[in-house]
Amino acid sequence: MASKSGGSGKNRRVYTEFGSRSDAFERGVPDLAPSQQDLRIQASRKGRKGKTVTIISGFQQAPDTLATLAKQLKAQCGTGGTVRDNTVEIQGDHATKLLELLRAKGYKANLG
């Protein structure tokens, strides 16, 4: 049986203007200095089966810079964590310790 599409099944591009589509849809991320960022630190239990997680939000940094910062914070707290959607999640209730660490690095951080 012959296929109805008439092609070999590959997604062939007939016409492209201004480069590839992936380049056009990438969002630029501003990499602001720590003193220009206003961070919020809060402890949360929602959706985590009763486990407390400290969430740091408000970052405006490149993903690899944020991953490096998260790694340093996790090491200082001695726990695990992750980076999701420009927020850093640290396992456990470490809000006050993270506040001190971020302020020492030059970030403007607040609890709440």
| Measured distance CA(8)–CA(103) in Å, rounded | 58
H/E element holding 81?
Answer: strand 81-84
Three-state SS for 90? Answer: strand
Task: Flag whether 12 is in a domain.
Answer: no
In a structure prediction context, what are the per-residue pLDDT tens digits for the chain, which is 112 residues long? 555 555 555 677 676 666 555 555 556 657 788 888 899 999 999 888 889 999 999 999 888 999 999 999 999 999 999 999 889 999 999 999 999 999 999 999 999 8
Question: Whole-model pTM above 0.75?
Answer: no
Q: Is residue 104 part of a domain?
A: yes
94 located within any domain: yes
Q: 83 is in which domain, residue-wise? A: 31-111
Position 67 scores a pLDDT of 95
Q: Give the chain's domain count.
A: 1
Q: Report pLDDT for 29.
A: 58
